[in-house]
Amino acid sequence: MTAPATRSSASEFANRVLSAVRRIPAGRVATYGDIAALAGKPRASRAVGNIMRNCADPAVPCHRVIAAGGALGGYGGYLQIKRELLRAEGVEVGMGRVRGFERLRWHPIPHKSRRGGSFRSPSGGGGTSRG
C-alpha cells in the first residue's frame, strides 16, 4: 500500500517543480538544484532533470533550467535548441554554458501562505538577481 503514496509524493514534487519553472522569467535561468530546493527537496536536482526531460508542456520553459555553474546541462539531447531558445530571450550562451550566469540566475523570494509555499518577487517580475 505504500506505492500509491510514493507515486502521489512523486507527482506532488513534479507539480511543485513545474510550478517553480513556470515562474522563471524570460531572459533568466535557474539550476536544477535551485528548482529542487524551491520544490522542497534540495538534494533532488537529478529528479528535476528527469522531470524536465519528460515534460512536454509548452507552457513550462524547461530550457531556462540549467546545470550548476552555468553549464547548459541536457535538453533531451537537443542542446542546440536549448541554446537557441535562451539566445532568443537575450541570454548570452557559449558552446556549453551561459555567460554571466550569476547575473542571470533567478532567485525568487519564497514566502509562506495559508495554502503552503509560493514564490513572489518584490518587483512583481517573478524574481530578483543576486550579483
Evaluate if residue 128 carries a pLDDT over 80: no
- What number is the average pLDDT over the span 8-24? 92
55 is catalytic: no
pLDDT in tens, 23-76: 999 999 999 999 999 999 999 999 999 999 999 999 999 999 999 999 999 888
Residue 100: what pLDDT? 97
Q: Which residue has the cell 515534460?
A: 55
Residue 77: C-alpha distances to residues 56, 60, 61, 126 (Å): 14, 18, 16, 28
Q: What are the residue boundaries of the structural domains of the chain, listed by start?
A: 2-100
The active-site residue out of 62, 72, 85, 91 is 62
pLDDT the model gives residue 82: 95
Stretch 84-98: mean pLDDT: 95
Average the pLDDT over 7-34 and give the result: 93
| Local confidence band at 1 (pLDDT 50, 70, 90 cut-offs) | very low
Contact criterion met (CB below 8 Å) for 100 and 92: yes
Q: Is the pLDDT assigned to residue 125 strictly greater than 70?
A: no
Considering the domain delimited by 2-100, tell me its CATH architecture: Orthogonal Bundle (1.10)
pLDDT at 86 over 90: yes
- What average pLDDT score do residues 77-92 get? 95
